[in-house]
Chain A
Amino acid sequence: MAQPAVTSPSGATPDTVSVVDDRLAQVSLVTKLLRRPELGALIGALAVGLFFAVTADSFRTLAGVANWTDVASTLGIMAVVVALLMIGGEFDLSAGAMTGTSGLLLGLLSTEWGFSMWPAILVTFAFAVCIGLFNGFMVMKTRLPSFIVTLATFFILQGVNLGFTKAITDTVRVAGLTDVTGFESAATIFASTFWEPYNFRISVIWWIGITIVATWVLSRSRFGNWIFAVGGDANAARNVGVPVQKVKITLFVITSTSAALVGTMIALRLGSIQAGQGIGEEFTYIIAAVVGGCLLTGGYGSAIGAALGALIVGMAFIGIQFSGWNTDWRFLFLGVILLMAVLVNNLVRKSAEGARR
């Protein structure tokens, strides 16, 4: 796929245009496919799906599908936005804890501090924007790796989650959201189910919608072009006038706001939320994004790929359970697919970056 795209100057002839247009069509389908970052994830998703369809009968049923798409959906929403951030060259390790923080904040606002549901949701999202701005500004102004800065945010949030919840409720959970005014309408939007009797989660719709929007943004919007550029080479991007800091800070805000969306979904789904919600999931998001073709070094990846990566994780979690195996095996599974994905991605990057001069 690394055949030269250009030939050395030889005096352009007037008919170059037509000649080249013929050649444009000749880029083979295989080359085009191989250039898609999500190809590996697609093949992986098919393989994992087939595997569990064989090992567990219930995996194949529509009720089973509703089960694993449910797991994949909340993971997937986060995986897609984490993928955008990773393409932009940054990490957010606080994304998992942030789903817990925002769910807890929503719970406390509505059950302890007298907010009705919709204003509480609004405040929760505003708070999430602040956390995203904090992460973004800290990373941009200190020029420290986002890995370290958001690791700090992660631990701060984890401590706050447990500390505040215990101090205020004397337990490690916030419950009773179902009794709050406006719960019904909010739950319809964030936490209902559809398609009786299989009961697909509404979060699946959100997941698909967010994947479509993110894909459009990446492939067609100027902002998407800038995301690739700031992750691929921030200096070059700055030199041609891309507002590097603004793009990266916006990505941090998108990530934390999406965490608030997922936190809201989880809190409203159960009517309660645990203080430990989301801890450890930040790595699952990153695994899904990497399986979906994102490079750890930034500048390359896909939203569809991340969504497929989340689908693989969801299928594996439920598939292992349905097959009657010990669910601890899922960590082994995550580790193995991550390793495979990183190896494949490394090859892809070498072929894309190769032949430098």
Chain B
Amino acid sequence: MAVAEPTTSGSKPIFGRTARVKPKVRIRALILHVVTYVLMLLVGITTAGPFVIMLSVSFTQDIRFIIFPVRLIPDPITLENFQTLFSKTMALRWLFNSFYVATVSTLGGVITSTMAGYAFARGDFIGRRVIFILFLGILMMPESALVVPQFVVLSRLGLVNTYTALIGPWFASIFGTFLMRQQYLSIPRDYDSAATIDGANLWQIYWLVLLPQLRPAMATLAVLRFMGNWNAFLYPMIVTSKANLRTLTVGLGTVARSGGDAGLDMAGAVIGFLPTFLIFIFMQKYIIRGISLSGVKA
């Protein structure tokens, strides 16, 4: 391994090399760029390929199997698969269920998180520390260990096969509460004192003074919650047994292996894919921020 030439002083660090660098180094940098792009393209094709094929198959007429080499632009392009999907299967009902459950869960979860976060950041109440530690404990719990007992409790309450069961656990978020608490702690208490002097009560401080400053954090939490709820599989499958209460994810999952028409299956996949895809495209910034918040600091 040859040792790299020491870069001339004043040049930029590692990658953005300046023209004053010797030719040998420049050629090496060029090769490095080309190799990087080729590798990225390969990974990119592996990632995008299945999605592209899903899209193209969903618009193909009478396609029973996905067979290579695949025709990427179908001829003719048809909406038949989607028509069959919505008229002959329960997909439309599942789609509605998913939207309803995810929307209510997200709204509920975000609002209760900002409320509880406020209490834990500013409040001094009896039991604060105990409740805080209990919440931390829940955060560590593997959720798949809890689904069977959750089912037991819900069936005793007669809540199996209800929207309440699907939405319930999402109506509060421990992660969201901690996230919001951090946000409140970054706002100076002077805001609170000023509002108190002006005669505001806790609810007015929360709603009128502090909440408007929390919008970016709320957007982050909302996006993460919506996508998490939309993609949830184990829990919603267990608390629903009736087909008309299934969410789209669960519904698709239960018919995936029935070995029907590939075009129809891929049409279903496209419907399940699009909402999170669109949210991802438009809210990417918030998602990445949410991951760095939940990931690196944890």
Same complex origin of A and B: no
- A contact set with B: CB distance below 8 Å: none
- B contact set with A: CB distance below 8 Å: none
